[in-house]
């Protein structure tokens, strides 16, 4: 553990002089996407920021694997739009950050549930086209008689197929695979492994951008109970003064089979993200908040109030 903490602190604070990852454009060009992100606009880099261009110098021998890896991260980020991650939708960009979310919602039975973690966690860019995210098992606290406990552990893999930064088209096309495994307490677990593939699109115009994910959930077993779903997320986002990102998301789910067969639910999620702001070295911080509001008569929950903390690094 001490070795791991030492490596992380070196990576965040000490390593070679590379630019910090930022959710804001570092060049003077238009903006773009995100979904689990969004736009970028024409403005000069702020003090302490570096241009979003891949480094050209070869890593010094003393940099070792850490310097080489961080250069790959910088190269990956320089090839895509620089936007703020939405609150619900998977970001349409490769990002390297630690993210911790939480929410309180009104359940269908009228009681409320608080969730710590919300299935977020560490997001790493191992190659210039790949992101891997390892979520912390969320912890649910119920107002009802349902026992409190941990939910299922999950991980996500994101592949960037095509992309361009601001000034070169500001777009992103990629593929996402999320997998959740029944590791949680029975009352807070799906009880079955669930695979969730999706396609991600994003396009920016100046300070404005649109993002979209289209996918579904495919239970490995238990489809007769859980059902299969089609999931559609749309995000509209606008950047104000470099660090303010108001946004609106539409989150829709359509069921086939299972207890909710033939039903659909749709939410509108207005929200805002502030950041990211530099802390030290490559480490930055962004915070966001919003509310999911049910638009359909059928919904499994309503009025989900979301808080989000992001710590981009690398």
- DSSP symbol at 224: H
Q: For residues 289 and 56, give the distance between their C-alpha atoms in angstroms, rounded to a whole number.
A: 38
What is the reported pLDDT for 110?
86
DSSP 264-289: EEEEEEEEEEEEEEEEETTEEEEEEE
What is the reported pLDDT for 24?
47
Task: Provide the residue range defining the domain that includes 258.
Answer: 1-314
Across the strands, what pairs with 305? 104, 291
CATH number at residue 125: 2.40.160.40
Q: For residues 32 and 201, give the distance between their C-alpha atoms in angstroms, rounded to a whole number.
A: 10
Q: For residues 189 and 19, give the distance between their C-alpha atoms in angstroms, rounded to a whole number.
A: 41
Q: For residues 154 and 47, give the distance between their C-alpha atoms in angstroms, rounded to a whole number.
A: 38
What is the reported pLDDT for 45?
35
Residues 191, 195, 201: CA angle, nearest 5 degrees: 140
Closest by CA to 35, choosing from 105, 94, 86, 104, is: 86
pLDDT, tens digit (0-9, with 9 covering 90-100), for 43-66: 333 333 333 444 444 444 447 888
Quickly tell me which residue has 């973690």 as its tokens: 117
Contact 159, 172 (CB under 8 A): no
Q: For residues 89 and 96, give the distance between their C-alpha atoms in angstroms, rounded to a whole number.
A: 16
pLDDT, tens digit (0-9, with 9 covering 90-100), for 73-124: 999 999 999 999 999 999 999 999 999 999 999 998 889 999 999 999 999 9
Residues 6+ apart with CB under 8 A from 154: 119, 135, 178, 179, 180, 181
Residue 37 pLDDT more than 60? no
The predicted model gives 204-220 an average pLDDT of: 97
Give CA 125 to chain center in angstroms.
13
Q: Is the pTM here over 0.95, yes or no? A: no
Residue 262: band (very low, low, confident or very high) from pLDDT cuts 50, 70, 90: very high
What is the reported pLDDT for 258?
93
Contact 252, 268 (CB under 8 A): no
The predicted model gives 157-180 an average pLDDT of: 97
Residues 40, 9, 6: CA angle, nearest 5 degrees: 150
Count of structural domains within the chain: 1
What is the reported pLDDT for 41?
33
Beta strands (DSSP E) in 85-152 are: 97-107, 112-117, 121-127, 130-135, 139-142, 149-150
Mean of the per-residue pLDDT values of the chain: 85
Residue 127 pLDDT more than 70? yes
């Amino acid at each position: 553990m001490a070795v791991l903490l030492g490596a992380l602190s070196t990576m965040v604070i000490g390593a070679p002089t590379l630019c910090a990852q930022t959710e804001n454009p570092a060049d003077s060009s238009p903006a773009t996407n995100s979904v689990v992100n969004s736009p970028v606009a024409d403005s000069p880099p702020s003090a302490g920021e570096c241009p979003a261009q891949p480094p050209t110098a070869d890593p010094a021998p003393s940099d070792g694997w850490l310097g080489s890896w961080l250069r790959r991260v910088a190269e990956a980020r320089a090839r895509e739009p620089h936007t703020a991650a939405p609150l619900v939708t998977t970001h349409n960009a490769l990002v390297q950050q630690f993210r911790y979310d939480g929410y309180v919602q009104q359940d269908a039975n009228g009681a409320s549930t608080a969730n710590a973690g919300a299935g977020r966690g560490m997001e790493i860019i191992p190659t210039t086209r790949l992101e891997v995210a390892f979520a912390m098992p969320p912890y649910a606290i119920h107002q009802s008689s349902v026992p409190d406990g941990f939910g299922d552990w999950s991980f996500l893999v994101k592949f960037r197929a095509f992309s361009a930064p601001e000034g070169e088209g500001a777009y992103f096309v990629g593929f996402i695979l999320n997998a959740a495994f029944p590791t949680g307490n029975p009352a807070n677990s799906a009880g079955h492994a669930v695979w969730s593939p999706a396609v991600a699109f994003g396009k920016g115009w100046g300070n404005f951008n649109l993002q979209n994910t289209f996918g579904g959930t495919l239970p490995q077993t238990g489809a007769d109970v859980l059902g299969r779903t089609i999931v559609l997320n749309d995000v509209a986002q606008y950047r104000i003064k470099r660090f303010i990102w108001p946004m609106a998301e539409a989150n829709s789910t359509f069921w086939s089979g299972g207890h909710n067969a033939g039903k659909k639910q749709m939410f509108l999620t207005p929200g805002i993200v502030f950041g990211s702001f530099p802390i030290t070295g490559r480490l930055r911080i962004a915070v966001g908040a919003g509310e999911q509001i049910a638009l359909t008569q059928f919904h499994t929950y309503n009025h989900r109030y979301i808080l989000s903390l992001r710590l981009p690094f690398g």
